[in-house]
Amino acid sequence: MRTLDKIFFNRRFLLGTPGRTVALLIAFNVGVSMRQGSLADARRANLLAPAPAPATSIPLDQIRYDVSVGDSLAKYLAAIPDARSHRLAILAGMSQMYAINERVPGDETVSEHLDDTLRSSGTRVFGLAAPNLDNEEALFLLLTTLARPETTPAVFIYGLCFDKMRFVDLRPSYLSFLRDHPETRAMLTDIADHYERRFPLASSKIRGTVASLEANPAESEKSVEHLLRDEVGRAVPMVGARKDLNTYLLYNVLYAARNRVLRISNTSKRPMIPGRYALNSELLLLLSDVAKRHNVRLAVYVNPLNPQAENPYVPEEYIAFKTWAARMADSAGISFANLENAVPRDDWGLFMGGPDFMHFKGAGHIAAARAIAAAFRTDLVPGNLASPR
Amino acid sequence: MIFTSYTYLLFLSIVFFLHWSVPSGWRKYLLIVASYVFYCTWKWQFGFLLLGLSLFNWAFGRWILPRAISTWPLVVGIVANLSSLIYFKYATFLAANAAAALELFGSAWKPSLGDIVLPLGISFFTFQGIAYLFDVATGEAPLESLDDFLLFKALWPQLIAGPIIRLSQIRGQIEGSRTIDYPDIAIGSQRILFGFFKKVVIADNIAPYVDMVFMSPSAPNFLDAAVGVVGFGLQIYFDFSAYSDIAIGSARLFGFVFPENFNWPYASASPQEFWTRWHMTLSTWIRDYVFTPLSFAGRRHPKMAPLWLLIAMAVCGLWHGAQWTFIVWGLWHGFLLISNRLFLRHVFVDSEDASGFRVRRVIAVALTFILVQAGWILFRARSLAQAGLFLTSLVTLRGGLHPALVRENIVLLLSLLCGALFTAQAARKRLGLLPSSSGRVATFFAWTRPFVYACMILAIVVFDQEARAFVYFQF
**How large is the ipTM?**
0.78
CB pair distance less than 8 Å for B182 and A7: yes
How far is A317 from chain B, CA to nearest CA, in Å?
15
CB pair distance less than 8 Å for B454 and A28: yes
Q: How many CB atoms lie within 10 A of CB A59?
A: 9
- According to the model, what pLDDT value does residue B325 have? 93
Task: Report the residue of chain B nearest A176, measured CA to CA.
Answer: B466
Q: Is A213 on the interface with B (CB under 8 A)?
A: no
The stretch B188-195 carries a mean pLDDT of 95
pLDDT in tens, B397-420: 888 777 777 877 888 889 999 999
Question: Higher model confidence: residue B241 or residue A275?
Answer: B241
Q: Using an 8 Å CB-CB cutoff, list chain B residues near A273.
A: 403-407
Residue A355 main-chain phi, psi, to 5 deg: -65, 135
Residue B117 main-chain phi, psi, to 5 deg: -85, 130
CB pair distance less than 8 Å for A275 and B216: yes
- According to the model, what pLDDT value does residue A259 have? 84
Secondary structure (DSSP) of B162-210: -----HHHHHHHHHS-----HHHHHHHHHHHHHHHIIIIIIIHHHHHHH
Amino acid type, A199:
F
Task: Report the residue of chain A nearest B403, measured CA to CA.
Answer: A273
Mean pLDDT, chain B, as a whole number? 87
Query: Whose CA is closest to B445, among A369, A316, A293, A17?
Result: A17
Which of A100-114, A248-262, B329-343, B452-466 is predicted with the least confidence, judged by mean pLDDT?
Answer: A248-262
Cβ-count burial A278-301 (b if 16+ within 10 Å, e if not): bbbbbbbbbbbbbbeebebbbbbb
Q: Using an 8 Å CB-CB cutoff, list chain B residues near A172.
A: 465-466
How far is A44 from chain B, CA to nearest CA, in Å?
17
| Pairing status of strand A155-160 against strand A123-129 | unpaired
- According to the model, what pLDDT value does residue A389 have? 42
Is B352 a residue whose pLDDT tops 60?
A: no
Please give the Cα distance from B109 to B216 (Å, whole number): 32
HSE (side-chain half, CA atoms, 13 Å) at A26? 6
Interface test with A, best of B13, B37, B182 (most A CBs within 10 A): B182
Please give the Cα distance from B66 to A5 (Å, whole number): 45
Q: List Cα–Cα distances, A213 to A70, A180, A187, B185, B203, in angstroms.
A: 18, 11, 14, 35, 17
Please give the Cα distance from A339 to A128 (Å, whole number): 19
Q: Is A377 on the interface with B (CB under 8 A)?
A: no
3-state secondary structure of B409: helix
Q: What percent of chain B has pLDDT over 70?
A: 94
Q: Using an 8 Å CB-CB cutoff, list chain A residues near B445.
A: none
How far is A171 from chain B, CA to nearest CA, in Å?
11
- According to the model, what pLDDT value does residue B63 have? 80
Please give the Cα distance from A141 to B461 (Å, whole number): 29
Sign, CA torsion B161/B166/B171/B173? negative
The residues that bridge with A360 in the sheet, in sequence order, are: A348
CB pair distance less than 8 Å for A172 and B466: yes
Task: Report the residue of chain B nearest A237, measured CA to CA.
Answer: B461
How far is B95 from chain A, CA to nearest CA, in Å?
23
Q: Is A277 on the interface with B (CB under 8 A)?
A: no
Q: What percent of chain B has pLDDT over 90?
A: 48
| Pairing status of strand A335-338 against strand A87-93 | unpaired
3-state secondary structure of B467: coil
Confidence of residue B250 (pLDDT cuts 50, 70, 90): very high
- According to the model, what pLDDT value does residue B195 have? 95
Write the CB contacts of B65 (distance below 8 Å, at least 6 apart in sequence).
Answer: B73, B74, B77, B133, B136, B137, B142
Task: Report the residue of chain A nearest B217, measured CA to CA.
Answer: A201
Q: List Cα–Cα distances, A268 to A166, A263, B144, in angstroms.
A: 15, 9, 71
Q: Is A268 on the interface with B (CB under 8 A)?
A: no
Q: How many CB atoms lie within 10 A of CB A122?
A: 12
Q: Is A200 on the interface with B (CB under 8 A)?
A: yes
Q: Are A369 and A127 in contact (CB under 8 A)?
A: no
How far is A226 from chain B, CA to nearest CA, in Å?
8
Q: Is A229 on the interface with B (CB under 8 A)?
A: yes
Query: Whose CA is closest to A24, among B455, B143, B36?
Result: B455
Q: Are B406 and A273 in contact (CB under 8 A)?
A: yes
**pLDDT, block means (10 residues), chain A with 389 residues:** 76 84 92 81 62 57 84 88 91 89 86 91 91 91 94 94 84 87 91 90 86 64 78 89 84 84 79 84 93 93 88 88 91 91 87 78 92 90 54
Provide the chain B residues 21-50 that lie in CB contact (below 8 A) with chain A. Answer: 21
Provide the chain A residues 239-258 that lie in CB contact (below 8 A) with chain B. Answer: 239, 242, 245-246, 249, 258
Is B30 a residue whose pLDDT tops 90?
A: yes
How far is A224 from chain B, CA to nearest CA, in Å?
7
Please give the Cα distance from A111 to A157 (Å, whole number): 10
How far is B240 from chain A, CA to nearest CA, in Å?
16
The stretch B72-89 carries a mean pLDDT of 90
- According to the model, what pLDDT value does residue A171 have? 86
- According to the model, what pLDDT value does residue A103 have? 82
C-alpha gyration radius of chain B: 23
Please give the Cα distance from B41 to B12 (Å, whole number): 14
Residue B146 burial (10 A CB sphere; 0-12, 13-18, 19+): middle
Provide the chain A residues 166-185 that lie in CB contact (below 8 A) with chain B. Answer: 166, 168-169, 172, 176
Q: Are B191 and B241 in contact (CB under 8 A)?
A: no
- What is the phi-psi region of residue A296: left when phi exceeds 0, alpha when psi lies from -120 to 50, beta otherwise? beta
Confidence of residue B19 (pLDDT cuts 50, 70, 90): very high
Identity of the residue in A20, A228, A276 whose CB atom sits nearest the CB atom of B405: A276
Please give the Cα distance from B160 to B153 (Å, whole number): 11
Provide the chain B residues 4-23 that lie in CB contact (below 8 A) with chain A. Answer: 5-7, 10, 17, 20-21
What's chain A look like in SS3? Answer: CHHHHHHHCCHHHHHCHHHHHHHHHHHHHHHHHHCHHHHHHHHHHHCCCCCCCCCCCCCHHHCCECCCCCCCHHHHHCCCCCCCCCEEEEEEECHHHCCCECCCCCCCCHHHHHHHHHHHHCEEEEEEECCCCCHHHHHHHHHHHHCCHHHCCCEEEEEECHHHHHCCCCCHHHHHHHHHCHHHHHHHHHHHHHCCCCCHHHHHHHHHHHHHHHHCCCCCCCCHHHHHHHHHHHHCHHHHCHHHHHHHHHHHHHHHHHHHHHCCCCCCCCCCCHHHHHHHHHHHHHHHHHHHHCCCEEEEEECCCCCCCCCCCCHHHHHHHHHHHHHHHHHHCCEEEECCCCCCHHHEEEECCEEEEEEEEHHHHHHHHHHHHHHCHHHHCCCCCCCCC
Interface test with A, best of B216, B401, B411 (most A CBs within 10 A): B216
Peptide bond into B183 cis (omega under 30): no
Q: Is A55 on the interface with B (CB under 8 A)?
A: no
CB pair distance less than 8 Å for B454 and A249: no
Task: Report the residue of chain A nearest B463, measured CA to CA.
Answer: A246
The stretch B430-457 carries a mean pLDDT of 77
Q: Is B357 on the interface with A (CB under 8 A)?
A: no
Identity of the residue in B5, B179, B404 whose CB atom sits nearest the CB atom of A273: B404
How far is B180 from chain A, CA to nearest CA, in Å?
7
Query: Whose CA is closest to B319, among B474, B134, B167, B160?
Result: B474
Q: Is A147 on the interface with B (CB under 8 A)?
A: no
Identity of the residue in A3, A219, A249 whose CB atom sits nearest the CB atom of B179: A3
Identity of the residue in B21, B212, B405 whose CB atom sits nearest the CB atom of A1: B21
Provide the chain A residues 2-41 that lie in CB contact (below 8 A) with chain B. Answer: 3-4, 6-7, 10, 12-13, 16-18, 20-21, 23-25, 28
Provide the chain B residues 132-191 that lie in CB contact (below 8 A) with chain A. Answer: 179-182, 185-186, 189
| Pairing status of strand A335-338 against strand A348-351 | unpaired
Please give the Cα distance from A49 to A47 (Å, whole number): 5
pLDDT in tens, A211-242: 877 766 555 545 788 888 888 989 998 898 88
Q: Is B403 on the interface with A (CB under 8 A)?
A: yes
CB pair distance less than 8 Å for A275 and B466: no
Q: Using an 8 Å CB-CB cutoff, list chain A residues near B182.
A: 7, 10, 12-13
How far is B287 from chain A, CA to nearest CA, in Å?
31
CB pair distance less than 8 Å for A242 and B461: yes
Write the CB contacts of B193 (distance below 8 Å, at least 6 apart in sequence).
Answer: B249, B453, B456, B457, B460
Q: Are B387 and B381 in contact (CB under 8 A)?
A: yes
Q: How many CB atoms lie within 10 A of CB A138?
A: 28
Catalytic residues of B: 320
Amino acid type, A234:
R
pTM for the full predicted model: 0.81
| Pairing status of strand A87-93 against strand A123-129 | parallel
Identity of the residue in A166, A238, A274 whose CB atom sits nearest the CB atom of B404: A274
Please give the Cα distance from A346 to A308 (Å, whole number): 10
Please give the Cα distance from B313 to B430 (Å, whole number): 34
Distance, CA of B427 to chain centre: 25
The residues that bridge with A239 in the sheet, in sequence order, are: none
pLDDT in tens, A106-119: 888 999 999 999 98
Q: Using an 8 Å CB-CB cutoff, list chain A residues near B449.
A: 17
HSE (side-chain half, CA atoms, 13 Å) at B406? 33
